[in-house]
Amino acid sequence: MSDARTPAQIEADIARRRQELAVTLDEIGVRVHPKTIMGDAKAKAASAVDRTAGRAYVSANRVVTNVRGQLVTEDGTPRMERIVPVALVVVGLVGLLTVSSARGGGRSGGRKGCKRRR
């Protein structure tokens, strides 16, 4: 048996390989194109943000459930012995913030009434 190929077979093989190479080069060109790279980076960033937001939601939901469990009984009635102290702390913090901002504690620089020279 002879493995010799005819010139037509060799030319057909070369044409097929050129076509395969052209397709491969086109694929590489698409992969390294700046728009493709930016699109991939945006997709990865969006995916990371989605994962982070999902984790944050789960964490926040867990915290809310835990706090609710502390302030409400299993049958849904409020636990006043726990709600009243929490409410007093919140009112106290709001009062402190109000007094602090009224005294000018929120100002930066501490200069009152100074004008800049131009």
Q: pLDDT tens digit string along 38-71? A: 999 999 999 999 999 999 999 999 999 998 888 9
Q: Which residue matches tokens 């990371």?
A: 48
Residue 48: domain span = 9-100
Q: What is the C-alpha radius of gyration for the chain, rounded to an integer number of angstroms?
A: 35
Q: Check residues 113 and 12 and name the one with the higher pLDDT.
A: 12
Q: Identify the burial level of 96 via C-beta atoms within 10 angstroms of its C-beta, where 0-12 means exposed, 13-18 middle and 19 or more buried.
A: exposed
Q: Report d(CA 18, CA 14) in Å as an integer.
A: 6
Specify if 105 maps to a domain: no
Specify if 106 maps to a domain: no
5: CB partners within 8 A, 6+ apart: 13
Specify if 92 maps to a domain: yes
Specify if 41 maps to a domain: yes
Quick: pLDDT tens for 8-41.
999 999 999 999 999 999 999 999 999 999 999 9
pLDDT value of position 114: 55
Specify if 3 maps to a domain: no
Domain count, the chain: 1
Q: Is the pLDDT of residue 117 over 80?
A: no
Specify if 113 maps to a domain: no
Question: Quick check: 101 and 92 in contact, CB under 8 A?
Answer: no
Q: Is the pLDDT of residue 2 over 80?
A: no
With a threshold of 0.75, does the pTM exceed it? no
Specify if 13 maps to a domain: yes
Q: Report d(CA 79, CA 74) in Å as an integer.
A: 10
Using the CB atoms, write b or e for 35-70: b if 16+ within 10 Å.
Answer: eeeeeeeeeeeeeeeeeeeeeeeeeeeeeeeeeeee
Specify if 56 maps to a domain: yes
pLDDT value of position 19: 97
Highest mean pLDDT among 3-7, 19-23, 70-74, 99-103: 19-23
